[in-house]
Every structure is written in C-alpha cells, then in structure tokens.
C-alpha cells in the first residue's frame, strides 16, 4: 500500500462516506475494497470522495475495477465525487 494512503470513514444514517487520500496503487485498491465490504452493511448508498487523491496509478484502478465482484450480493449504489472521480469510477 502507498505509505500515504488513508481512508476516512463517516456514516450518515444510511449513507456511507469514504474520503480517500494519498496515492492510489494496487494495495490501496484492495484496502478500499475491503473497507467497502466491511462497512457497507446497512448502507443504502456509498459516496467515495476523491478530491484528496494525489497520484493515481493505472494499476491501482485496474485492481479496483477487476475486483469489484468482491461486493457481489450487495447491490448498493456507489457514487464517486471529486476531481478524480472519473478515473476511479468503473
């Protein structure tokens, strides 16, 4: 994982907000997927805020996109926000 990658988690009633910060690489992608898997229970929607990302590695995006099936059975809409949203959204 990129040493400076962090995820700030905030829940607002049934909405889960994840603010991702730092560099996004392959390990960061797996960490984000695991946080989603663990914290999405009871959420009706998930927002992933991307404004605080710095370097976004193409490999990290590929890992994230190729492993979204980890969330199978959890039909929760994921909304990407911020200037880097288009790079992470599938």
The predicted pLDDT at position 72 comes to: 66
Listed in sequence order, the residues at least 6 apart from 35 whose beta carbon sits closer than 8 Å to its beta carbon are 7, 9, 18
**Domain edges within the chain:** 6-75
Q: Which of 73, 16, 90, 23 is nearest to 50 (CA)?
A: 23
Q: Which of 80, 89, 63 is nearest to 17 (CA)?
A: 80
Mean pLDDT across 16-31:
96
| Alpha carbons 68 and 51: distance in angstroms, whole number | 21
Is pLDDT above 90 for 32? yes
Return the CATH class of domain 6-75.
alpha beta
């Amino acid at each position: 994982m990129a040493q400076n990658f962090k995820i700030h988690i905030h829940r607002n009633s049934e909405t889960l907000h994840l603010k991702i910060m730092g560099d996004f690489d392959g390990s960061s992608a797996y960490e984000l997927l695991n946080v989603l898997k663990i914290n999405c229970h009871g959420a009706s929607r998930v927002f992933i805020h991307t404004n605080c990302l710095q370097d976004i590695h193409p490999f990290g995006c590929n890992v994230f996109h190729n492993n979204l099936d980890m969330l199978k059975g959890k039909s929760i809409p994921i909304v990407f926000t911020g200037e880097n949203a288009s790079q992470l959204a599938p």
